[in-house]
Amino acid sequence: MTQLLIIGGSDAGISAALRARELDATVTPTIVMADDFPNFSICGLPFFLSGEVPDWRNLAHRTTDDLARAGIQLMTNHRATAIDAENQVVTVIDSQAQEKHVAYDRLIIGTGAISNRPSIAGIDLPGVYFLRWMNDSFAVQRHLTEFEPQSVVIVGGGYIGLEMADALVLRGLKVTLVEHNPTVLKTVDASLGDMVKAELQRHNVTVANGVSIEAIQPKGNQLQVTGSHGFETIADLVLVAVGAKPNTQLAESAGIELGLTGAIRVNRKMETNVPNIYAAGDCVETWHRVLNQNTYLPLGTTAHKQGRVAGANAVGSNQEFAGSLGTQVVKVFELAIARTGLRDFEAAGFDPVTIESEVWDHKAYYPGAHKLRIRITGDRQTGKLLGAQIAGHYQGEVAKRIDIYATALFHEMTVEAVNDLDLSYTPPLGSPWDAVQMAAQAWSQALHH
């Protein structure tokens, strides 16, 4: 009977445990986890803080009981401190600082990522928060409830920053969003980033682009935030969301190699360089299917898939991770912004061309039609689809339209061949050539004229 030990009780760890147990009912996967919140949807934290999800318990993908019934053993509030790879033992410390030793036949590391902490003076002041794990959100929630702040500065215009801007506007705060890049949401091209900025402004968010925060100082009961280009504002609360980096300290202590991106190096079987140790999720390098090389793309969807592969292989299967396309979507107020695959500057080894179209989500004559802005990136030489970006009203099926491109990309289709796909149509929900095909045709026409 395989002793399967998993470090980390979030997406990768839980998926691994469930899959291992599904394939081998004799295994009782044990999960060591630092907090008390197994299998929580941390992507849902902004919606808890907005008030849209009143009870944080609802953020659990599964309850502790569900996991127990699935045959998974949880060691909550246990922090793994060392891996002895030679003897296959992990040292853990419980909440009473008691050290324990847990043996394993197979170990899966799913320690996730940790928030980047920029070197800004005052970053540790009370009233300055980060947001990644459940406990982070409880701290913010406590602050919101106890001090009833009226204003917030959000540092960072990525996914979490944008979702928190939306959340805190909904909660009635005056929001200022600061992003050091010239546009917000730098994961998409500037024309779509500008749409996001306009959507923020339409909801009375003050957006400061191209500003680097330099200091946070107490000012009475408030915080004064200053930055480059003379930026200066005062707020009751500061939220810092400037990305994350892989949490690899424990793995490094066991002699596990990191990749170029600073994340744990794994092969497509999710094996590390150390025998019997797998790793998955936000702590590892991710094989990119189009680039055919490793990248760092920490996404919940990928963590689930990689965990599933690691869990299967840990109990004797021989699965491979099919690779990431970096497919992602975010909703900011009424706007959904999605992408898959590569943008021009990411398409190393290709000859990328990106063409933008504006197309209706469904026949314009039917009420409620929304314009979508679609950017297609394809290879000039081969005509191959390399990536796509879409922005438009969130009810315009933006999320699942990007998934059509993702599925096409998975199969290495050309842009032109997207027109061969037999997609559904009814006037209230599409067009005879779907929006994704009209954009593909615009790409082809732009290239041939």
* Active site positions, annotated: 43
Apex 129 CA angle, 128 and 131, nearest 5: 165
Told to check if 401 binds a second copy by CB under 8 A, we report yes
Which one of residues 301, 317, 344, 446 is an interface residue with a second copy (CB under 8 A)? Answer: 301
What would the DSSP string read from start to end of 301-351?
HHHHHHHHHHHHHHTT-------B---EEEEETTEEEEEEE--GGG-TTS-
Q: Which is nearer to a second copy, 208 or 329 (CB)?
A: 329
Of the residues 300, 369, 414, 446, which one makes contact with a second copy according to CB under 8 A: 300
Which of 254/421 has CB closer to a second copy?
A: 421
Mark residues 49-88: x for contact with a second copy by CB under 8 A, - for none: ---xx----xx-x---------------------------
Task: Kindly list the distances between the CA atom of residue 406 and the CA atoms of 33, 167, 411, in Å, as whole numbers in the listed order.
Answer: 33, 29, 9
Report if residue 402 touches a second copy, rule: CB under 8 A.
yes
325: contact with a second copy by CB under 8 A: yes
Task: Taking each helix axis as running N to C, give the angle between helix 300-314 and helix 11-23, from 0 to 180 degrees, rounded to the nearest 10.
Answer: 30
Q: How far apart are CA 378 and CA 384, in angstroms?
A: 5
Instruction: Compare residues 261 and 319 and give the one whose CB is closer to a second copy.
Output: 319
Query: Is the Cβ–Cβ distance between 115 and 240 less than 8 Å?
Result: yes
What whole-number distance in Å separates Cα of residue 371 and Cα of residue 4? 50
365 binds a second copy (CB under 8 A): yes
Q: List the interface residues with a second copy, window 193-252 (CB under 8 A).
A: none
Asked if 14 and 38 touch (Cβ cutoff 8 Å), the reply is: yes
374 sits near a second copy (criterion: CB under 8 A):
no
Q: How far is the CB of 214 from a second copy (least distance, A)?
A: 32
Is residue 378 within 8 Å of 341, Cβ to Cβ?
Answer: no
411 is a contact residue toward a second copy (CB under 8 A): yes
The least CB distance from residue 119 to a second copy, in Å, is 30
* Closest CB 402 distance from a second copy, rounded Å: 5
Q: Which of 58/217 has CB closer to a second copy?
A: 58
Residue 181 burial (CB count, 10 A) = 16
User: Do 14 and 130 form a contact (C-beta atoms < 8 A)?
Assistant: no
Please identify, using beta-carbon distances, which residue of 52 and 99 lies nearer to a second copy. Answer: 52
In the list 406, 438, 440, 442, the residue contacting a second copy (rule: CB under 8 A) is: 406
- Least Å distance, CB 259 to a second copy, is 19
Residue selected from 132, 143, 197, 308 as contacting a second copy according to rule CB under 8 A: 308
* Stretch of residues binding a second copy (CB under 8 A), selected from 185-193, 197-205, 230-238, 410-418: 410-418
Separation of alpha carbons 53 and 64, rounded Å: 19
Distance CA 41, CA 122 (A): 30
Asked if residue 438 binds a second copy (CB under 8 A), the reply is no
28, 43, 123, 171: residue in contact with a second copy (rule CB under 8 A): 43
Residues 269, 267: Cα–Cα separation, whole Å: 5
The yes or no reply on residue 269 touching a second copy (CB under 8 A) is no
Judged by beta carbon, residue 186 or residue 363, the one nearer a second copy is 363
Piece of 74-82, 107-115, 229-237, 428-436 that binds a second copy (CB under 8 A): 428-436
How many Å apart are CA 389 and CA 17, to the nearest integer? 34
Cα 295 to Cα 153, 246, 248, 329, distances in angstroms: 31, 12, 16, 19
